[in-house]
Structure 1
């Protein structure tokens, strides 16, 4: 059932991981830590901070452990590490050894098509299901929050439309494997609001009681509309990236995530609480632009916010 405006949405900030992984200019460890610290100061309480993947394939993430070791030890903040296989989970667990804080959540990934899965992770769907069951078990037994993202849920760059029935079935299997949160990711930015409402409705029926999260890319300009459709469909957790940075290295013509600033503006104007400070986010956007070496895609970074109040005389 659609929800009216109001309520609360949790925003997961993915800029330091998904936002940067496709960037050619290497961002230093110190600048990544500064970015994450500023985002926490702006109100972010769940953040993707690194991915435990092969650094030869994703060089930008080669310093993941160093970034994590330098993060502030905030009990009110949850740090997420992306993991694609059991080795990734073990690396995530190693960040917690010796009494260190480390990461708090294992962000597992299950790709919803064989073609993309083989290019992204070297796995078919069936192989991904088996691997994710083991990953979720290792995460849970090691004290990490076990959550999973179903990637390419709204469409595959090689196979086209992914059947909704398949997504619902995969979600049910991941719920059975112990995932406490399931995200549906529009990895290549092809989804539209009607599809969002339909797919999340099916997944809610297939995996009752599991928290649902939405991850949208703005490749075709529908990302913010899709985020609002997810909110209206009762999804209470949304991913976004500072400045709209991002893109999958293994998806053709992939572009950025929905912008955190743009999402916050929409939620603010719609009466939905989220806990982030828009002015602070815009300031971080402007601080980070010189490090990237180009303007960020975010609309709010260019236009600024708007309160609705009359302009001063």
Structure 2
């Protein structure tokens, strides 16, 4: 099966990675890490979240981080926005893009947003409308697409219905989340084939977690179906704080290694990316879980 000759990697570590850390990283370390990431050739970095600090204290300094990073013109700098207050702060931060988010399962949506799905949709629509009025691009995250920690399997028809609602609001891209890392290649194929019939695949990204070791296999399946945009977190940092045990984002460094070996271009300099990984490893209290960084931790050469 023919696969794309290039792929887009969207780095979410400074947000999705750090939000799940037990310790709070100093602002200057976050800024320095993002500056390192900006030098790697990445075209997209999700730098933080404007969720209330009560819920995600690890990212309470989002505005300060945004104001102090060194920006590159070829990089899109984005942040998660939960409501109008968060959007106001994102506008103050002069970001390029904001992301809105919701879950495909009712219970997880209530745990994560404290609203039903029906209550969430008009809130997101209002945020998207205002963000567009200010010239921002908007991304939509749909969590628990491949399984919910409370409800189990999520119906594909529910995923398609909510995806349509988000696109109708005017989002530019939809990121489909395997929030608890339960997806397998057959399931991914079944869902993506249905979604490809309903929406342009170029407007869909995949956000896999590697909780059960299937993230790269799922990426391969997506590539074989023509999807080429993936969220990942350098070193495998992160997870969902509202889904117990959902640690381990797909690692950017491991994904890049696979794509390069397959001859799929990304525009990312692997040596500089691993230098950025080594920087953040140096300020974290525990080892990064990615395969590449495990090689580094054991004294090997991950290059």
Give the TM-score normalised by the residue count of structure 1: 0.91
How far apart, in 1, do the equivalents of 2:203 and 2:196 lie? Answer: 9
Distance 1:220 1:25, change over 3 A: same
Distance 1:209 1:247, change over 3 A: closer
Match of 1:3 in 2: 2
Unaligned runs of 5+ in 1: 96-101, 307-313
How far apart, in 1, do the equivalents of 2:134 and 2:222 lie? Answer: 32
| Aligned counterpart for 2:205 among listed residues 207, 213, 236 | 213
Runs of 4+ residues deviating >3 angstroms: none
Give the TM-score normalised by the residue count of structure 2: 0.94
Distance 1:3 1:85, change over 3 A: farther
3-state secondary structure, aligned to 2:182: coil
Q: Is the contact made by 1:182 and 1:210 (CA closer than 8 Å) also made in structure 2?
A: no
| Aligned counterpart for 1:196 among listed residues 169, 188, 193 | 188
Match of 2:217 in 1: 225
Match of 1:299 in 2: 291
The alignment yields a C-alpha RMSD, in angstroms, of 1.5
| Aligned counterpart for 2:58 among listed residues 35, 57, 60 | 60
Match of 2:101 in 1: 109
Superposition map of 1:170-189 within 5 A: 170-189=162-181
| Aligned counterpart for 2:83 among listed residues 82, 85, 106 | 85
1:246 and 2:238 matched: yes
Alpha-carbon shift at residue 67 of structure 1 (Å): 0.3
Alpha-carbon shift at residue 305 of structure 1 (Å): 4.2
Distance 1:286 1:267, change over 3 A: same
Match of 2:229 in 1: 237
How far apart, in 1, do the equivalents of 2:268 and 2:20 lie? Answer: 25
Q: Is the contact made by 1:145 and 1:180 (CA closer than 8 Å) also made in structure 2?
A: yes
Alpha-carbon shift at residue 51 of structure 1 (Å): 0.3
1:260 and 2:252 matched: yes
3-state secondary structure, aligned to 2:222: helix
Match of 1:35 in 2: 33
